[in-house]
Amino acid sequence: MDIIVCIKQVPDTTEVKIDPVTNTLIRQGVPSIVNPFDKNALEAALQLKEQHGGKVTVLSMGPPQAKDALKECLAMGADEAVLMSDRAFGGADTLATSRTLAAGIRKLGHYDLLICGKQAIDGDTAQVGPEIAEALDIPQVTYAAKLEISGDSKVRIEREHEEGYEVVETTLPLMVTVVKSINEPRLPTVKGTMKANRKEIPMLTAADIDVDLDSIGLKGSPTQVHRIFTPKQRVQGQLIQADSPREAVAQLMNKLAEAKLI
């Protein structure tokens, strides 16, 4: 089974802080990481490979330093890694990104399954996976919390839903996005890391793929960021420190009543 996993290198948004004076993001010292959900996607792919054999290829679009993220995926056990990097890809919104990645996937050739994380933690859109599936005209199942493939390529997925899990059956080829609870991503082994360091990561530029240059990058992005601002910070409210829990609760109930919340 040939599986392609799309990954994104993202800033660790939990490490991002706001400069209280300028009210802007402090990016210095914020580490770049493999998007956490994409690690779940890779883990799912590696487990399927262990069951069915085949090959796992990780694909990413990003600046040259995104190679570090791909190296980490190789160290976890991916067989191949490919980086799509070109100034022409830059400034892309989700649609332009998906067109670029879909062109990269076509270039890679045969695949049975495409796995993505449910969303990236910097943009949180959850759109690129489905938009790739659309560009490739393959079916999709999003928010997978359980993914089983039987020998004859029958797929059974439990998909996270607001009230529970929706069981869906389908066949390959397919695009799946996964949630965190699907698995616990493995850590890179020492041997894997050494192997990854020696491994060549080929780079695809715009010239290498079959794509209309007007449909990718900033030019091919229908959406435009008009304005960026920092949200209103919540102000600290009232802290109750009473002698006993009963007294504390009584004070809280009074305050809630005053605020007409109860």
Q: Which is nearer to other proteins, 55 or 206 (CB)?
A: 206
Candidates 159, 185, 192, 216: give the one binding other proteins (CB under 8 A). Answer: 159
| For other proteins, the closer CB: 110 or 227 | 227
Instruction: Give me 28's structure tokens.
Output: 């210095």
Rounded CA separation 111/107 (Å): 11
Q: Give me the 235-254 binding string for other proteins, x by CB under 8 A, dash otherwise.
A: -xxxxxxx--xx-xxx-xx-
Binding to other proteins in span 178-197, by CB under 8 A: 179-181
To the nearest 10°, report the CA torsion of 216, 220, 226, 230: -20
**Is 141 among the residues that bind other proteins (CB under 8 A)?**
yes
Give the range of 43-51, 67-75, 165-173, 198-206 binding other proteins by CB under 8 A.
165-173
Q: Which of residues 55, 106, 130, 186 is near other proteins by CB under 8 A?
A: 130
Does the footprint of other proteins cover residue 90 (CB under 8 A)?
yes
If one counts every other C-beta atom within 10 angstroms of the C-beta of residue 33, the result is 20
- What pairing do the DSSP bridges indicate for beta strands 203-204 and 174-178? unpaired
CB atoms within 10 A of CB 139: 14
Stretch (H or E) spanning 171: strand 165-171
Binding letters toward other proteins, positions 6-45, x by CB under 8 A: -----x-xx-x-xx--x-xxxxx-x-----xx--------
Residue 57 or 183 with smaller CB distance to other proteins = 183
Q: Which residues contact 68 (CB under 8 A, 6 or more apart)?
A: 9, 32
Question: Among 31, 53, 228, 260, which residue interacts with other proteins (rule: CB under 8 A)?
Answer: 228
The structure tokens 């883990």 sit at 43
